[in-house]
């Protein structure tokens, strides 16, 4: 099933299914993606708009997503929190933005959804549309090296694949150099399973 069809199918249930993880893990991490950023910022894979409430004041925000159904949820959240953001249906690998269009790009768990062969093309596209010296910040999952946690994650693997089309083994940071990006930070924020990657164009 295509990424678009997967998220068209799950959009109405997405926030409900994600609620326990949002409360326990994600909500405290989202502000870190935007700390110190300003100017024109892209939220790549905006989903249902969970990042919207944390957007920097005074910045020009644009959110893109492949799924119209997910964007509909993001539009509702935009109205709910009262923040300005332009929401556009768009594939992260084939955006219509000009070169050097953004001061920064953020993405929350989007690269776990991209297949291994799409990791590099997506990073290259983000590098193309981000201004020289701009930062690209990614939150991504990683298989734990702890035997117990890794076992639990492997149990979750079929569900995660079916529901979200996602995986824990994308290792997005390995593609940064080939995408022309400089890794400036790579650290775990939740045990050794959620990784913050910061790269510079």
pLDDT tens-digit profile of 127-138?
A: 999 999 999 999
Confidence of residue 1 (pLDDT cuts 50, 70, 90): low
Q: How is residue 82 written in tokens?
A: 């009262």
The mean per-residue pLDDT over the stretch 19-35 comes to 94
pTM (2 decimals)?
Answer: 0.95
Mean pLDDT of 17-25: 93
pLDDT classification of 144: cutoffs 50, 70, 90: very high
The vertex-170 CA angle with 166 and 171, nearest 5°, equals: 150
pLDDT of 177 strictly over 70 = yes
Distance from C-alpha of 147 to C-alpha of 39, rounded to nearest angstrom = 43
CA 140/CA 60 separation, integer angstroms: 24
**Distances 17 to 5, 65, 112, 116, 178 between C-alpha atoms, Å:** 17, 19, 17, 25, 35
Provide mean pLDDT across the span 137-153: 96
pLDDT at 62: 98
């Amino acid at each position: 099933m295509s990424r678009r069809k997967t998220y068209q199918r799950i959009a109405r249930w997405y926030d409900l299914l994600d609620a326990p993880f949002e409360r326990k893990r994600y909500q405290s991490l989202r502000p870190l993606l935007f700390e110190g950023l300003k100017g024109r910022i892209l939220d790549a894979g905006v989903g249902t708009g969970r990042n919207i409430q944390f957007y920097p004041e005074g910045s020009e925000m644009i959110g893109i997503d492949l799924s119209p159904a997910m964007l509909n949820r993001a539009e509702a959240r935009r109205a709910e929190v009262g923040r300005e953001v332009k929401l556009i249906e768009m594939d992260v690998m084939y955006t219509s933005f000009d070169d050097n269009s953004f001061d920064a790009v953020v993405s929350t768990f989007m690269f776990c959804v991209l297949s291994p062969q799409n990791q590099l093309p997506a990073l290259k596209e983000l590098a193309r549309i981000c201004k020289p010296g701009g930062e690209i910040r990614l939150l991504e999952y990683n298989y734990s090296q702890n035997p117990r946690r890794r076992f639990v994650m492997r149990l979750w693997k079929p569900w995660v694949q079916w529901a979200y089309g996602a995986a824990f083994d994308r290792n997005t940071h390995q593609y940064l150099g080939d995408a022309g990006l400089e890794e400036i930070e790579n650290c775990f924020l939740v045990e050794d399973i959620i990784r913050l990657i910061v790269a510079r164009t």
